[in-house]
Amino acid sequence: MARSRTQAATPFHEARILRDATDENGRYEAAKIAHLLDWTVSDIARYLDRDASTISRFGASPVHQEKLAALASLTQEVFEIMREDLRGSRAWFRTPIRALNGKSPQQLILSGNFRRVLGLIEESRTGLAL
Let me know how many helices (H) and strands (E) the chain has, helices first: 9, 0
pLDDT tens for each residue of 64-99: 999 999 999 999 999 988 888 899 999 999 999 999
Structural domain range at position 118: 2-126
Which one-letter DSSP state was computed for residue 62?
A: G
The Cα 49–Cα 128 span in angstroms is 32
User: How many domains would you assign to the chain?
Assistant: 1
pLDDT tens for each residue of 22-53: 999 999 999 999 999 999 999 999 999 999 99
